[in-house]
Amino acid sequence: MLVKTHAAATAAECDDVRERIEAIGARVRGVNANGRTVLICAGDTAALRRLRLESMSGVESVFDIPQPYKLAARNGSADTIVRIPGPTPTQIGGRTFTMIAGPCAVENLTMLRTTATAVGAAGANLLRGGAFKPRTSPYAFQGLGEAGLEMLGQVRAETGLPVVTEVMDARQIEAMLPYVDVFQVGARNMQNYTLLAELGRIRRPVLLKRSAAATIEELLLAAEHILAPGNGDVILCERGVRARETKTRNTLDIAAVPVLKRETHLPVIVDPSHAAGRSDLVLPLSLAALAAGADGIMVEVHPHPAEALSDGDQSLTPSEFRALTAAIAALAPLLGREVPAVLEPVRAA
Ligand code: PEP
Ligand code: MN
């Protein structure tokens, strides 16, 4: 339900309305639209109707929200900017085009440090790298687990780059908190509702990847599972969907970007690496993402892709990543986007 207040409504009147909604256990997201407060409410619609909010002082009108994803829906609200306090404050959303880069998996400290230093110098704003790896085969490298997290923490301190890493299970969240600036939910876990609900109870940004089989509506409803318990810092990621094509690992659904930007206020990024499965396609797909209106990209980079323990075929070398960030920096201003300044390393390793 959407509650529009009068332009002259007082703060106390708006608070009364909010309290009445929250008293029945519904969630409220307040947005400012043309100088007036609009309360977006998510909860039991019949119970919300029974509150007869339209009769409260300060309320102008009340509407049903037609979309099933009540808090994620755009509903005229401005873009949400997810702020990442991290070692160096960063943001995803708004005019910024954010670049996340790093290896598929943390393999050892040296390769992580080498990659992080290279991508940071080339303009990456956040470091990615999996410590817990959801692999299609149980016999493939599963990641270094907690040892990998410690390496991420160390390289984060050395470079100042905030860390994005994947959480596979709700039981891992607490141990990960000291090392993680953004929790990644992988494509395979997009509908792990227990995990999503737990991430909704913490105050740390979540990067939610679209499942290869999910519709855009299912992705937005997955986001709603994180928003509903109270975590508003959700970033959506298009990473390719399964189609009949065999020349690429997945098919990048580039149309999902403008559709999502219209449907939701949440930031939307693209992962061209997992979409393509081929390093030679990462640059053109990244430029397509920028042109389509994405708020950033997440790209896999490895110092020696041929030796990577996972996803070497789709990993860029550091010099290929430099070429990519140069191309992004050249195109971004033409599209009204800003590329954040390159970070100075916090201290040399
Ligand atoms: C990853 O980012 O390393 C990953 C496993 O991606 P996805 O969940 O999109 O397959
Ligand atoms: Mn990968």
- What digits encode the pLDDT tens for the residues 117-165? 999 999 999 999 999 999 999 999 999 999 999 999 999 999 999 999 9
Q: Is the CB of 240 under 6 A from ligand 1?
A: no
Residue-wise pLDDT for 302-333, tens only, equals: 999 999 999 999 999 999 999 999 999 999 99
Residue 349's pLDDT is what? 45
Is 27's pLDDT higher than 60? yes
9 band by pLDDT with thresholds 50, 70 and 90? very high
Ligand 1 atom showing the smallest separation from residue 274 Cα: 9
Is 344's pLDDT higher than 70? no
For atom 8 of ligand 1, the residue with the nearest CA is 186
Mutate to test the pocket of ligand 1, among 209, 241, 285 (most ligand atoms within 8 A of CB): 209
- Looking at every residue in the chain, the average pLDDT score rounds to 95
Chain centre distance of CA 163: 13
Q: Is the CB of 265 under 6 A from ligand 1?
A: no
The average pLDDT across 175-192 equals 98
In angstroms, the Cα distances linking 260 to 269, 286, 335 are: 10, 17, 18
80 band by pLDDT with thresholds 50, 70 and 90? very high
Provide CB contacts within 8 A for 223, sequence distance 6+: 69, 72, 208, 234, 236, 264, 266
Residue 76's pLDDT is what? 85
Q: What's the rounded Cα separation, in Å, for the pair 287 and 325?
A: 10
What is the 203 CA–ligand 2 centroid distance (Å)? 26
Ligand 1 atom showing the smallest separation from residue 298 Cα: 2
What is the 34 CA–ligand 1 centroid distance (Å)? 40
Residue-wise pLDDT for 271-311, tens only, equals: 999 999 999 999 999 999 999 999 999 999 999 999 999 99
What is the 257 CA–ligand 1 centroid distance (Å)? 18
Neighbours of 57 (CB within 10 A): 12
Q: What's the rounded Cα separation, in Å, for the pair 9 and 220?
A: 32
Ligand 1 atom showing the smallest separation from residue 189 Cα: 8
Q: What is the CA radius of gyration of the chain?
A: 21
Residue 313's pLDDT is what? 98
What is the 187 CA–ligand 1 centroid distance (Å)? 6
Pairing of strands 206-209, 234-238: parallel
Q: Is the CB of 187 under 6 A from ligand 1?
A: yes
Residue 343's pLDDT is what? 63
Q: What's the rounded Cα separation, in Å, for the pair 69 and 41?
A: 11
The DSSP string of 18-84 is: HHHHHTTT-EEEEEEETTEEEEEEES-HHHHHHT-GGGSTTEEEEE---SS-TTTB-TTPPPP-EEE
Residue 35's pLDDT is what? 82
Give the whole-number percent of the chain exceeding pLDDT 90: 92
Residue 341's pLDDT is what? 74
Residue-wise pLDDT for 209-264, tens only, equals: 999 999 999 999 999 999 999 999 999 999 999 999 999 999 999 999 999 999 99
Q: What's the rounded Cα separation, in Å, for the pair 311 and 145?
A: 18
Is 49's pLDDT higher than 60? yes
Ligand 1 atom showing the smallest separation from residue 240 Cα: 9
Residue with tokens 């020696």: 304
Give the whole-number percent of the chain exceeding pLDDT 70: 98
Q: What is the b/e burial string over 259-293, where b = at least 16 CB atoms within 10 angstroms of the residue's CB? A: ebbebbbbbbbbbbbbbbbebebbbebbbbbbebb
What is the 68 CA–ligand 1 centroid distance (Å)? 27
Closest ligand (CA of 133):
1
Mutate to test the pocket of ligand 1, among 100, 106, 132, 188 (most ligand atoms within 8 A of CB): 188
The average pLDDT across 186-209 equals 98
pTM of the model: 0.96
Closest ligand (CA of 168):
1
Q: Is the CB of 186 under 6 A from ligand 1?
A: yes
Closest ligand (CA of 240):
1
